[in-house]
Structure 1
Amino acid sequence: MYLINGRVSRGRDNPILGCDASGEVVAVGDKVTKFKVGDKVITSDYAMWHDGLLTPEKEATGLDLSLGTDGCLRELFTINENALVRMPKNLNWDEAGVIYCTWVTAWNAVINKGEIRPGQTILILGTGGVSVASLLFAKAAGARVIITEINDEILAKAKELGADECINFTENPEWHEKVLVLTGGKGVDVRLRPLGMPRSTRHYYVQSKTEL
Structure 2
Amino acid sequence: MPETTKHYFWSKLGSLEHLLSKESPLPQLKSHEVLVKIHAVSLQVETELLQNNFLSLTYFKYRDLVIGLNKYPGNFPEELVPCSDMAGEIIVIGDDAGSQWKIGERVCANFAADHIAGETSPEIQKTAHGGPIHGVLTQYKAFRPHSLVRIPDHLSFEEASTLPCAALTAYNALMGPVPIKGGDVVLIEGTGGVSIHGLQFALASGASAIVTSSSDDKLKIVTKLGAQHVINYKSAPEWHEMVLELTGGRGVDHVVEVFSADNTADA
Q: TM-score range by the shorter chain?
A: 0.7 to 0.9
What's the CA shift for 1:86?
1.6
What is the aligned partner in structure 2 of residue 41 from structure 1? 107
What's the CA shift for 1:92?
0.5
What is the aligned partner in structure 1 of residue 235 from structure 2? 171
Q: How does 1:1-212 map to 2 (within 5 A)?
A: 1=66, 4-5=70-71, 7-9=73-75, 12-33=77-98, 34-44=100-110, 45=112, 49=116, 54-56=118-120, 60=124, 63-196=127-260, 201-202=263-264, 204-206=265-267
What one-letter code is carried by the residue in structure 1 that aligns with 2:266?
Y
What's the CA shift for 1:94?
1.2
Structure 2 segments unaligned to the other structure (5+ residues): 1-65
Structure 1 segments unaligned to the other structure (5+ residues): 207-212
Equivalences, count? 198
What's the CA shift for 1:169?
2.3
What's the CA shift for 1:6?
5.1
Relative to structure 1, the CA distance from residue 6 to residue 131 in structure 2 (aligned partners, 3 Å threshold; closer, same or farther) is closer
What's the CA shift for 1:38?
2.0
**TM-score, normalized by length of structure 2?**
0.65
What's the CA shift for 1:146?
0.4
**Structure 1: distance between partners of 2:228 and 2:207:** 9
Given that 2:208 and 2:228 are in contact with CA atoms closer than 8 Å, whether structure 1 keeps it comes out as yes
Identity of aligned residues (%): 31
Structure having the higher strand fraction is 2
What one-letter code is carried by the residue in structure 2 that aligns with 1:19?
S
**TM-score, normalized by length of structure 1?**
0.81
- SS of the aligned residue for 1:122 comes to strand
RMSD between aligned alpha carbons? Answer: 2.6
What one-letter code is carried by the residue in structure 2 that aligns with 1:156?
K
What's the CA shift for 1:88?
1.0
What's the CA shift for 1:111?
1.4
